[in-house]
Structure formats: C-alpha cells, structure tokens
Chains A and B, each alone.
Chain A
Amino acid sequence: MDFVSLQKVTHTYRDANGKPELIVDGFDWAIGEGEFHCLVGRSGCGKTTLLKLVAGLLQPDSGSIALQGQPLRDPGEQVGFVFQRPTLLEWLTVAENILLPISLKRKPGPADHEKLESLLALVGLSGLADRNATQLSGGQQSRVAIARALILEPPVLLLDEPFAALDAITREELQDDLLKLFRSRNTTVLFVTHDIREAVYLADRVAVMDRGQLIRDLTIPLPRPRDGEIRYSQGFNDLCADVRHAMDVPA
C-alpha cells in the first residue's frame, strides 16, 4: 500500500473579491514507504499549495489525500514540515527551538534531551545547543529547522524549498546531510523545489508540475548512496535535461 496517496486533488483559491482561481487541478500521486520524491515546477505553479494540502494545512475542494491509508484531516504529529525560511523563534535557543514540538505537548524529559543531542550531532550542530537562534548562519538555521521537524520522528517529512535562499556550496552540503538523515531513518519525503539539479540529485522520483497539473513523472535510477561526484556524470545531466524539457510547455 502507498504511504502517501493523492487522488484527483483539487484546490481553488479565492481572492479578496471572491474570484476563484484553480491552483491544484486533479493531482494524482503516490509515494511508497521510505521513498524520496521531489516536486518541481516554476514559481506559482501550485507546488507549495500542494505541499500544504499534504500537510493538512489546507483542505482540498475535491479528491482525497491519505497518509498510511488513513484519510488526512488536520495537521498532525505524523508529518514533519520544513518551511521556505527556517522560521525559528528568535527569542529561543537552538535547543529550545528544536524541542518546541515536544514542549508544546509536555515538559521535555531526559529522553527528549538525549534525542536532541543525537539530532544535533546528525545535523552537525553539536555544541551549539545553547546559542541563540539568530546567532547562527543561514545554513545552520536551516539545519535547526530540519532537526525541529524530525524531533517527533514523523514517518513523513515535507520540505518546501528549504534551501532556496542558501549559497550553492552550503546548499550542496545540506542536500548531502539530508540524504544521510533520510537513509538513517527510513522517512518518507516529499521535497518541493524549483531547482532541477537539486530535485534529480535527491529524488527517487520527480514530479513536474505546471499550472496545477502533473505534467511529467520521472523515475531517477541513479544508484544510492549518492555523493557529490554524481552531479558531474553524463547520466545525471541527461536526467536534468529531461526534467528541463518537460518544463518547456507553451504558456
């Protein structure tokens, strides 16, 4: 059974005047357990909206979304979400930010602090737990945001262009670390990006979206684990070209 499944999902946005605009138009998609899928498309194609639908932050007008076979209603613990910006709470320390999902439910205990330590090590922030969130660099803030999304160990992780604002080198480092985390935890991931190379590097499967519709479904047969070298291989570039051509649709 599919871990995450979307069937004919449609979402309409109404502006202030009540004029409806179709943002997501009959989208079908399925993600198997432990798979890493990327959703690419131009700005404004509806990919962020689709991700929010999967998160339960928005409700579809028609169609259905199911997580582990259960219809999705509200946002919940089974989904971790990483936003476009790190959205850290500036008045909290790194540790308090990461523990926020727990501290909203109960007082974090020793087991939670152990989990915090191991997560900090995994995202390469050991020793920075007591720093103020705003004292970190952009890349470090993104790492904190990922650790925060993982602290409850959600089976599904959704990421909305989390690395878009970072420089190219930092972005590659974060991509590699994200893949490492993904391998070690068997999390099911849906990653939204407009960066074709990022999508091909990370994903098992890439969905190309345009004006609310799925226009291309591409399997990425590159072997795992992947490392930086693969970015310069012929096969990688052919796949990127494939995705790029799929996005060349007449306006």
Chain B
Amino acid sequence: MKHKLISTALFAAFLISWEVFSRVSGFSELVLPSLSAVLATLWSGLTTGYLWPHIWLTGVEMLLGLATGCAIGFVCGVVLGESVFLRRILYPYIIASQVIPKLALAPLFIVWFGFGMTSIVVITALICFFPLLENTLTAIQHIDPQKRELFRMLGATRMQTLLRLKIPAGLPVIMAGFRVAVVLSLVGAVVGEFIGGRDGLGAMIIASQGMMDSPLMFAVLIVITVLGMIFFQATIWFERWLLRKHITGTEQ
C-alpha cells in the first residue's frame, strides 16, 4: 500500500514537472509539447473516435502475431526438446534466424506480403517465436531426473511423459518466455507499422512526425504505453491462473 502511494506520488510529480517545465522553458511545441496540449489531443482523439481504429488494428496485429509466434515457438520447442537428432540439425538455423535483426527483414516481408496487416503480423510472430522456443526447449530438457525415472518406473509412454510431466513441470519457465514475448509483440507491431503500415499506432507516429504534430505523437505514445501495460497485466493474471496449482504453498 505504501509503495503504491509513493509510486502514484512520483507519477503525479512527473506530470506536474512536465507541465511546468514545458511552460517556463520556452521550448517550442514541436520539441516538447505541454502535458495539457497532449492530453487535449488525446481526449479529442478518443472522443471523436479518430484513434480507436488505430488502437484496434495495432491490438489485433499484436495478438495475432503473438498467438502465431508463440504457438509455433512452443511446438518447435517441444519437438526440438524431444528429438536430439532434430535439435542437432536445426538449432544452428534457428540461432541464425534470430541473430538477424528481424526488423531488417521488414522490407523483404513488404515485398512478399504487401503493405499492411499480413507483413506486420509476420514480423511480430517472428519476434515472439524465439522466447517461447528457447524457454520451452530449456524447460522440457531440465526436468528433475528422478521424476523422469519415476515415469519410467510407472511404464509411462513418451507422450504421457511429455504431457503429464515435462510440460506441466516446465510451465513456469515457459510462461516466463511468454511474458517476454508479450512485451516484444507490442514492439514488433508498432515498429512493423513504422515500416509497413498505413494504419495503426506505429503508422500514426510516423504520420504525426510528417505533420510535425508533436502533441499527437506524444498522445499516441501514451496510448501505446497504456496498451502495453494492459496486455502485460493481463498476462500476469493469465499466468497466475495457469500456475495456480504450482504456487499454492511453498517448497518445504
């Protein structure tokens, strides 16, 4: 409770000093718009409905990219975790695909998939893929050897060992990867829109830059931050729900 109070006070102090500084410093509105101007732009953007389609589009791109990337990353993590053969053969390629800055691939995707949603979803998915793959792979390879022996003693099939031991036991580590993916997915969607989007919040930032409309740019940044925090908080709740059985009580 005390921490929340201090945190809120800090936020208020930040907002007030922003407003005061922008008024007394004499910077032009292009460099540092005042908080009140930004909020006015944000308010009109929200009330006139001008911002909503962009928020919606970025949100959908982010969710589609996140879902696709995480699903593929999880499946690949499980397959590579189970097969030493495939791991040896494919892992160097996966590393290579990840050390390429994915945003540098964006122009290529625009050539392949055109401007707009598809390209951005693909970029976002590619970014979300790796944390899920890496964490799933790590999680299912590092299962307590005694528990594996237990499943062998009980005559469990490979599928049973995977579904009833490795994945549940690895879930906390897998979810940590998912949390990283959620944060990266917003970056992927917004920056993808910088390059390949006509609409969406990222495209709006580029547009506001072109129009030298700094208050709008700040308003969009605030929207992106809030969107990110909503998604992150939802992830935390989802994780807590999913791991509710793992975290009741502590290890003795």
Tell me, rounded to whole Å, the shortest Cβ–Cβ distance linking B252 to chain A: 5
User: Cα distance A138–B250 when bound, in Å?
Assistant: 12
A135 an interface residue at 8 Å Cβ cutoff?
yes
Q: Is the CB of A76 within 8 A of B252?
A: no
Chain B 140-184 interface residues, beta-carbon cutoff 8 Å to A:
144, 146-147, 149-156, 160, 164-165, 168-169, 171
Chain A 118-153 interface residues, beta-carbon cutoff 8 Å to B:
132, 134-138, 141
A208 an interface residue at 8 Å Cβ cutoff?
no
Residues on the A chain within 8 Å of B165, using CB: 89
Which among B155, B168, B251 is the interface contact of A75 at CB below 8 angstroms?
Answer: B155
| Interface size in chain B (residues, C-beta < 8 A) | 24
A77 an interface residue at 8 Å Cβ cutoff?
yes
User: Cα distance A22–B144 when bound, in Å?
Assistant: 25
Q: Is the CB of B149 within 8 A of A83?
A: yes
Which among B147, B153, B169, B248 is the interface contact of A132 at CB below 8 angstroms?
Answer: B248
Q: Is the CB of A89 within 8 A of B153?
A: no
Tell me, rounded to whole Å, the shortest Cβ–Cβ distance linking B251 to chain A: 6
Q: Is the CB of A57 within 8 A of B252?
A: no
In the complex with contacts A137-B252, A141-B252, A87-B144 CB distance below 8 A: yes
**Closest A residue to B160 using CB positions:** A104
**Closest A residue to B252 using CB positions:** A138
User: Cα distance A134–B169 when bound, in Å?
Assistant: 13
Residues on the A chain within 8 Å of B149, using CB: 52, 57, 81, 83
Residues on the A chain within 8 Å of B245, using CB: 90-92, 132
User: Cα distance A134–B155 when bound, in Å?
Assistant: 25
Tell me, rounded to whole Å, the shortest Cβ–Cβ distance linking A243 to chain B: 27
Tell me, rounded to whole Å, the shortest Cβ–Cβ distance linking B131 to chain A: 22
Chain A 51-94 interface residues, beta-carbon cutoff 8 Å to B:
52, 55, 57, 74-77, 79, 81, 83-85, 87, 89-92
Q: Is the CB of A83 within 8 A of B156?
A: no
Residues on the B chain within 8 Å of A136, using CB: 252
In the complex with contacts A104-B155, A104-B160, A134-B252 CB distance below 8 A: yes
**Closest B residue to A74 using CB positions:** B155
Q: Is the CB of A134 within 8 A of B146?
A: no
Tell me, rounded to whole Å, the shortest Cβ–Cβ distance linking A139 to chain B: 9
**Closest A residue to B165 using CB positions:** A89
Q: Is the CB of B155 within 8 A of A135?
A: no
Q: Is the CB of A83 within 8 A of B146?
A: yes
Tell me, rounded to whole Å, the shortest Cβ–Cβ distance linking A250 to chain B: 33
Q: Is the CB of B155 within 8 A of A85?
A: no
Q: Is the CB of A57 within 8 A of B154?
A: no
Residues on the A chain within 8 Å of B144, using CB: 87
Which among B146, B154, B156, B246 is the interface contact of A91 at CB below 8 angstroms?
Answer: B246
User: Cα distance A79–B252 when bound, in Å?
Assistant: 28
Q: Is the CB of A134 within 8 A of B251?
A: yes
In the complex with contacts A89-B165, A104-B154, A104-B155, A134-B249 CB distance below 8 A: yes
Residues on the A chain within 8 Å of B171, using CB: 91
Q: Is the CB of A76 within 8 A of B155?
A: yes
Q: Is the CB of A84 within 8 A of B146?
A: yes
Residues on the B chain within 8 Å of A105, using CB: 155
**Closest A residue to B150 using CB positions:** A87
User: Cα distance A77–B164 when bound, in Å?
Assistant: 19
**Closest B residue to A85 using CB positions:** B146
Q: Is the CB of B252 within 8 A of A83?
A: no
User: Cα distance A91–B168 when bound, in Å?
Assistant: 7
In the complex with contacts A55-B153, A83-B146, A104-B156, A135-B248 CB distance below 8 A: yes
User: Cα distance A90–B246 when bound, in Å?
Assistant: 6
Tell me, rounded to whole Å, the shortest Cβ–Cβ distance linking B217 to chain A: 46
Besides the contacts A75-B155, A87-B150, A90-B169, what 7 more A-B pairs have beta carbons closer than 8 Å? A77-B155, A84-B146, A89-B147, A91-B169, A132-B249, A134-B248, A134-B250
A-B contact pairs, 8 of them (CB 8 A): A52-B149, A55-B153, A83-B150, A87-B147, A89-B168, A90-B251, A104-B151, A104-B164
Give the 3 A-B residue pairs with the shortest CB-CB distance, closest first: A135-B249, A91-B245, A134-B249
